[in-house]
Amino acid sequence: MKLLALSIGLSLLASVAVARSPYAGMQTRPIKALSEQQVADLKAGRGMGLALSAELNGYPGPAHVVELADQLGLSAEQKARVQSLFDAMKAEAVPVGAKLLDEEAALDNLFATHSVTAESLKTATEKIGATQAELRNTHLKYHLQTVQILTPDQMQRYSALRGYGSATPVEHQYHM
């Protein structure tokens, strides 16, 4: 009987260890909902996958085009135009990212101070949602503009260099 009780006790301890939350350790984050990498990306104006719908459907972004400029055979004028887009995107994305960090910190603080109400929660999450949409739009619109600078051959080469395949270049019908 004692052996059975010991076995059950050990089983319970094992299941408690297995049931540990995947969130364990995150409670020490300054903003609980964001990882250190996400915070760094927002501060630096990086895309964080926000423009994947463009990138993976044949609309390259300026950051990656700048990185691949030589391999794409960009002319001096194209390089300058894409660099200008990248600089503008970053200049726009950094303050929006900072705004999002502030809003996420405010939401976190509502919970940390146990002062959250249904109304303050609604207000905070609506602000965050609007800022996330603004940030995503910021990144996506520069993908639209980058397409206008590249030739179909460069678009195809970009796709191959990024590992998306070397399918026939997409004919973009929507121009800015």
Fold of 31-161: Four Helix Bundle (Hemerythrin (Met), subunit A) (1.20.120)
Q: Is 113 left (phi over 0), alpha (psi -120 to 50) or beta?
A: alpha
Per-residue pLDDT of 98-121, as tens digits, reads 999 999 999 999 999 999 999 999
Ordered by start, the domain boundaries in the chain are 31-161
Per-residue pLDDT of 5-42, as tens digits, reads 555 555 555 555 556 888 998 888 999 999 999 999 99
Cβ-based neighbours of 174, under 8 Å, separated by 6 or more: 144
Does residue 172 surpass a pLDDT of 60?
no
What's the pLDDT at 3? Answer: 52
pTM score: 0.81
Residue 93: exposed, middle, or buried by beta-carbon count in 10 A (0-12, 13-18, 19+)? buried
What's the pLDDT at 166? Answer: 60
Mean pLDDT, residues 156-160 taken together = 95
Distance CA 174, CA 143 (A): 12
Distance CA 72, CA 69 (A): 5
